[in-house]
Amino acid sequence: MDPELRRQAVDLLDRPMSRGQVKRAGEELDGRPELRRAVVDVARERGIELRGSQSLAGKKLLRHARDRALSAQVRTNPIARDEAFVCAHCGHQVEAHGRTARDHCPRCLRSVHVDIVPGDRAAGCGGVLDPVCVETRGSRLTIHYRCRRCAAARVNRAILDGDDPDDWDLLSALSAGEVLS
């Protein structure tokens, strides 16, 4: 393999790149078959098997060769879900908010650990999220949570308007550092 092509291939595989940069580099691979072969060869030297690499688009080939194909499929954008539910802590019937996703009980401020990314329902934990403190972020109040089961930390926006706003006394107690029972 030509040393210059090998250097370019190694650079493509090792250099940190944004999604846009990967897309542009993939387009370059589509137009340069010799560089494409060099990328495949370097990836195979590293133990990454690229089955069907001849038929892959350059961007997809690059993601596989960089061993990032699975991480490229991980959802990172939230899914808006505004659903009614029964609170797992106090049993209150919580109605959908109507404008924003209601994800915690307005009476006790508890939530359930069901999401990895908001709305994806992929956590699998199911533990109760207890509010631990309230923080002001700009003009919004955010409630910080800790999961009883797995100790994961989460943050939800407080809902201060609508038919069933969050309990102001509980929000005040949390912001004063009190522990809710």
Q: Please give the pLDDT value at position 131.
A: 95
CB-side neighbour CA atoms (13 Å) of 79: 11
How do residues 125-164 score in pLDDT, each as one tens digit? 999 999 999 998 888 899 999 999 999 999 988 988 877 8
Burial class of residue 80 in the structure, from the number of CB atoms within 10 Å of its CB (0-12 exposed, 13-18 middle, 19+ buried): exposed
Q: Please give the pLDDT value at position 147.
A: 95
Mean pLDDT of 102-118: 90
How does residue 81 score in pLDDT terms, banded at 50, 70 and 90?
confident
In sequence order, what are the residues at sequence separation of 6 or more whose Cβ sits closer than 8 angstroms to the Cβ of residue 84?
93, 94, 95, 96
Radius of gyration (C-alpha) of the chain in whole angstroms: 24
**Spans of all domains in the chain:** 3-73, 85-175
How does residue 73 score in pLDDT terms, banded at 50, 70 and 90?
low
Q: Please give the pLDDT value at position 74.
A: 66
Q: Please give the pLDDT value at position 72.
A: 55
How do residues 12-29 score in pLDDT, each as one tens digit? 999 988 888 989 999 999
CA-closest candidate to residue 104, choices 117, 118, 120, 116: 118
